[in-house]
Structure 1
Amino acid sequence: MPAAVRYRLCPRCGRAVPTTSGERYCANDGARLLDACPNCGASITSPYARYCVRCGADLTPPP
């Protein structure tokens, strides 16, 4: 079974990129991309994630 793809997520605009891309900052707005949930540390495994699947924390809170 293949390993789950992990993503980095922009907390400002919600842009997601696979961790294999090597990007650390959002190309749209320069924000540092999240590697994991800042509340509980769970991996981001969906490019559509807006809430943490483990603790429910908002990953893209309004500015």
Structure 2
Amino acid sequence: MEMDTIKYQFKICTGCSFFCTKEEAVEFCPYCGEKLINKCPTCKANIKTPHGNYCTQCGNLYPGRATKNKK
């Protein structure tokens, strides 16, 4: 399955693990107050896996995410 066929796109918090769909009218995290992002800051790809630490297109770490999982 290609990534473009995934229906949902997400916003993720750069300060904690909160996420929501891109369509929701939420710009800041309701738990920690950090700004939500909906695109990879490096390659500008849409975020399609809200639980991931790394961009599925370029492999770069999302801001505020743990680095211990990457091999």
Normalised-by-shorter TM-score class: 0.7 to 0.9
User: Which residue identity does 1:18 align to in structure 2?
Assistant: T
Aligned position for 2:69 = none
Aligned position for 2:57 = 54
Q: Take 2:37 and 2:27, find their aligned partners in 1: how far apart are those partners?
A: 8
Write out the 4+ residue segments of structure 1 that deviate beyond 2 Å after TM superposition: none
Q: Take 1:15 and 1:5, find their aligned partners in 2: how far apart are those partners?
A: 16
Size of the alignment, in residue pairs? 61
Q: Take 1:15 and 1:45, find their aligned partners in 2: how far apart are those partners?
A: 14
Unaligned runs of 5+ in 2: 67-71
User: Sequence identity, in percent?
Assistant: 25
Q: Which structure has the greater CA radius of gyration?
A: 2
- TM-score (norm. length: structure 2): 0.74
